[in-house]
């Protein structure tokens, strides 16, 4: 069996997605997500111009060899564009292998370690009262873990607070929207939010909060300490992660757990954080960290250092990525949580899938492969639409972290 064709499909059913479909000479197909939010066409070009020609004629079952060929053979290693392209190939090949074997992918990578995958949803609102309403909705839906974000008093807008509460898409304009940010207002506000949530919903629901890389290490330490009475499962991305030594300072001052890694692309981006146990959850994803093959390496390293998985699962990760993530989540020994932002009905129609939500858990498909596909005819009805994530400036106009 050989790879006969590979197609790159760009579509926008309410938001942009890039999908790679690999077809063998025996008619077996596999799909992989290659979406890089706001830079989708860069990955599409990388695949079309540089990767697809190298795939034709290769044995689709040589997954590890193909991964090494694409990673080492390019000379220019790592980076989000390269690793998203490699991830798409890797994910599609695992899909094909599962179909050849007649097994769901999780059974090829060790089988079940748990019955279901605990997921968390996003409760947000312009005010604390609005956010409490959304927390109640997620509790009613059966979620066991909920991320809580609110607007900051005195700020006109806040990243992470959406107009549509169930289907949140932050990439809102071709030219990035600019928000104004105040760290002092934020630090004073957030503890009051979680006091209200705990008072209203008690100690059992897992609570999370995303800082979006906006603080310095000492500011993040202050936030973590101020949230200790409310027993958060984690604070996410408290500081930009380029200077990883900064996490040591946070650790010295707070016991609030830390999650980081949705923007990481390889094990080398998080090796120090994991090895020194400076984080508690690693949020790398199938699509941005080199596919199932490489993400398992990251999680294996994490397991040796008491770090659990907490994979990113925003709407810019297509149902193909979510399907692949669930197969990994259900198999690894050190699973923590899986983010789950629901896709719109248009997206779900373009990407028919077999995973489902029940009782606070997502369950992977039991069909051979990943249990997801792309309807190419329907995808063609949704052309690409430029969209960028917003940026932040301080009140004096200085550019700030995302």
Going from the C-alpha of 387 to that of each of 84, 177, 346, the distances in angstroms are 18, 10, 18
Return the number of other C-beta atoms located less than 10 Å from residue 41's C-beta.
15
Q: Name the residue among 22, 377, 16, 397 with its Cα closest to residue 180.
A: 397
| Rounded Cα–Cα distance for residues 138 and 179 (Å) | 27
| Rounded Cα–Cα distance for residues 365 and 342 (Å) | 17
| Rounded Cα–Cα distance for residues 166 and 159 (Å) | 15
168 is catalytic: no
Return the number of other C-beta atoms located less than 10 Å from residue 76's C-beta.
7
| Rounded Cα–Cα distance for residues 250 and 272 (Å) | 15
Collect all residues with Cβ–Cβ distance below 8 Å to 53 and sequence separation of at least 6. none
Which candidate in 71, 138, 159, 382 is catalytic? 159
Tell whether the torsion through CA atoms of 273, 277, 279 and 282 is positive or negative: positive
| Rounded Cα–Cα distance for residues 99 and 107 (Å) | 12
Which candidate in 212, 294, 312, 353 is catalytic? 212
Residue 152 CA to its chain's centroid (Å): 25
DSSP code string of 61-110: T-HHHHHHHHHHHTSS--SHHHHHHHHHHHHHHHHHHHHHHTSBHHHHTT
Burial label for 73, CB within 10 Å (0-12, 13-18, 19+), is: exposed
69 is catalytic: no
Q: What is the set of active-site residues?
A: 159, 212
């Amino acid at each position: 069996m050989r790879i006969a064709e590979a197609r790159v499909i760009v579509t926008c059913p309410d938001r942009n997605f890039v999908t790679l479909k690999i077809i063998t000479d025996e008619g077996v197909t596999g799909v992989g997500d290659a979406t890089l939010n706001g830079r989708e066409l860069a990955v599409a070009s990388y695949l079309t111009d540089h990767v697809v020609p190298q795939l034709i004629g290769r044995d689709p079952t040589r997954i590890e060899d193909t991964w090494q060929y694409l990673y080492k053979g390019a000379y220019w290693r790592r980076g989000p564009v390269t690793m998203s392209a490699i991830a798409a190939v890797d994910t599609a090949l695992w899909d094909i292998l599962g179909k050849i074997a007649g097994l769901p992918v999780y059974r090829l990578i060790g089988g079940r370690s748990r019955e279901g995958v605990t997921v968390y949803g996003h409760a947000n609102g312009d005010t604390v009262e609005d956010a409490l309403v959304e927390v109640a909705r997620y509790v009613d839906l059966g979620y066991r873990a909920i991320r809580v974000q609110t607007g900051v008093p005195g700020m006109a807008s806040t990243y992470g607070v959406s107009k549509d509460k169930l289907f949140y898409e932050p990439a809102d304009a071709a030219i990035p929207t600019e928000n104004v940010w105040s760290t002092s207002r934020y630090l004073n506000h957030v503890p009051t939010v979680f006091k209200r949530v705990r008072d209203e919903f008690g100690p059992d629901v897992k609570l999370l909060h995303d800082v979006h890389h906006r603080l310095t290490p000492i500011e993040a330490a202050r936030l973590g300490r101020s949230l200790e009475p409310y027993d958060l499962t984690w604070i996410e991305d408290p500081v930009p992660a380029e200077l990883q030594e900064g996490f040591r300072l946070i650790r010295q001052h707070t016991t609030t757990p830390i999650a980081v890694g949705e923007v990481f692309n390889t094990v080398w981006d998080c090796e120090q954080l994991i090895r020194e146990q400076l984080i508690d959850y690693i949020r790398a994803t199938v699509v941005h960290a080199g596919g199932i093959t490489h993400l398992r390496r990251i999680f294996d390293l994490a397991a040796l250092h008491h770090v659990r998985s907490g994979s990113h699962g925003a709407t810019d990760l297509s149902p193909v990525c979510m399907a692949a993530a669930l197969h990994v989540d259900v198999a690894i020994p050190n699973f923590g949580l899986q983010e789950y932002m629901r896709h719109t009905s248009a997206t779900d129609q373009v990407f028919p899938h077999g995973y489902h939500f029940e009782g606070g858990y997502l369950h992977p498909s039991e069909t051979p492969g990943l249990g997801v596909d792309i309807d190419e005819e329907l995808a063609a009805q949704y052309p690409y639409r430029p969209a960028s994530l917003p940026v932040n400036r301080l009140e004096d106009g200085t550019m700030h972290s995302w």
